[in-house]
A = this chain, B = another copy of it.
Amino acid sequence: MTKEDALQVLEDCRQRIDELDLMILELLNERTRVVERIGQAKQLLQMPIYEPKREDQVYANVTGGNHGPLPAEAVKRVFERIIDEMRTVQKLRMQK
Contact = CB atoms under 8 A, between A and B. Distances in A.
A86 to B, nearest CB: 8
Given A25-B75, A71-B89, A81-B78, A31 B17 contact: yes
Copies of this chain per assembly:
2
Interface in A1-28: 1, 3, 6-7, 9-10, 13-14, 16-18, 20-25, 27-28
Contacts of A32: 68-70
Interface string A23-56: 1110111111111111011101100000000100
Nearest to A45: B6
Contacts of A7: 41, 45
B61 A21 contact: yes
